[in-house]
Amino acid sequence: MMRLLAALKKSVPVMMATLLLLSGSITSAETIKEKPSAGAMIIDAVLARPLYFVLSQGGALVYGATLPFTLLGGNADEAAEALVVTPLQAAFVRCLGCGKIDNEVGNLEEGEGKRIRHFAMLSAGISSYDETARSQTSDAASGGFYLGTHFALSDSSRFDVLLGYRTLGTQKIGTGAAQVEDSLSSIQISSRFGKRAFWGLDFMGKLGMHSWSADRKPAAGGSSFSGTGFLFGAGVEKFVTRDLRIGVEYTRYSLEDETYKSTIGTADLNISYMF
């Protein structure tokens, strides 16, 4: 498993390039009869799409914060659709300058153009730590648990919205008497979007935010750091049964406050159970 995760880490640039190609294929798959002007395209690219992207990420924060309540109330799928998936479609799955999306999620009925399912996901893998200030690097085992909502649309578009907690590993930094250990963790809200391409594989991009903390030992009186940052990544997933999905994923995290600055890359194996 360790060799597989290490290979995944090296393959991230290829995965990112594939996702860029797929994002173009998603747009070209739509049957849009509009013929937008050059001005409409420029306004869309400069103003509308960035705004929709910001709305999708803000919506993901609201969705994640309210997920336990919407799951109990039975309307988590409606919340994910309205707050996250609709603006994501407008940002990424729409021809430049167009005002309509043929396969807009809000116009589709469940079972007739879209399928919505909730899931619990376990991840396990390797965290690669890079502390910028002291040019220190380290690797450690890590893993996490997530709850989310999955949308599968009839044009092969795929969207996930996730709320999760994960440990980013206990990283050993420095050598000898100067060595310290940082125990890192993250609470995160993210969205994934992509397309089913071939062999039943879903290629997904990932964007989100996380609240992180780091406890350092040994230190006089103990030291701790915390903050918020961004995350992004890419992955491939596949249903192996009707209710079980497995995949591999790479995620890059930023961790920065006034006295602490580092980045972490995680290569994971994911197992999701749909309910």
Residue extents of the structural domains in the chain: 26-109, 114-274
Contact between 138 and 172 (Cβ < 8 Å)? yes
Asked whether 149 and 191 are in contact (CB, 8 A), the reply is no
pLDDT higher than threshold 70 for residue 21? no
pLDDT of residue 185: 95
Percent of the chain with pLDDT over 70: 83
- pLDDT: is 107 or 237 the higher one? 237
| pTM listed for this prediction | 0.77
Q: Is the pLDDT of residue 60 over 70?
A: yes
Mean per-residue pLDDT, 23-33? 45
In whole angstroms, give the CA distance from residue 190 to residue 133: 27
Confidence of residue 33 (pLDDT cuts 50, 70, 90): low
pLDDT over 90 (residue 79): no
CB 229 within 8 A of CB 263: no
pLDDT over 70 (residue 266): yes
Yes or no: say if 116 and 108 are a contact pair by the CB < 8 Å rule. Answer: no
**C-alpha distance from residue 17 to each of 5, 20, 49, 156, 248 (Å):** 19, 5, 21, 19, 16
Q: What is the pLDDT of residues 81-126, one digit of tens each?
A: 888 888 888 887 778 888 777 777 877 778 788 899 999 999 999 9
Q: What integer pLDDT is reported at residue 177 of this predicted model?
A: 67
The Cα-based distances of 161 to 47, 53, 67, 205 in angstroms read 24, 14, 10, 12
The runs of H, that is alpha helices, within the chain are 2-10, 12-29, 38-43, 49-73, 76-80, 86-92
Q: What is the pLDDT of residue 39?
A: 83
Measured over the CA atoms of residue 88, residue 89, residue 90 and residue 91, the dihedral's sign is positive
* The two structure tokens encoding residue 115: 């399928």
pLDDT for 273 equals: 98
d(C-alpha 79, C-alpha 118), whole Å? 12
Residue 254 scores a pLDDT above 90: yes
- pLDDT attached to residue 133: 61
Tokens of 33: 């009869």
Mean pLDDT, the chain, rounded, equals 82
Q: What is the CA radius of gyration of the chain?
A: 20
Instruction: Please report the pLDDT score of residue 144 as a whole number.
Output: 97
* Distance from C-alpha of 189 to C-alpha of 148, rounded to nearest angstrom: 10
Considering the four listed CATH numbers 3.20.20.220, 2.40.160.20, 1.20.1440.130, 2.120.10.30, the one that applies to the domain covering 114-274 is: 2.40.160.20
Task: Tell me which residue of 171, 186, 79 sits closest to 123, measured CA to CA.
Answer: 186
pLDDT digits (tens, 9 = 90+) for 156-189: 889 999 999 999 998 887 666 667 788 999 999 9
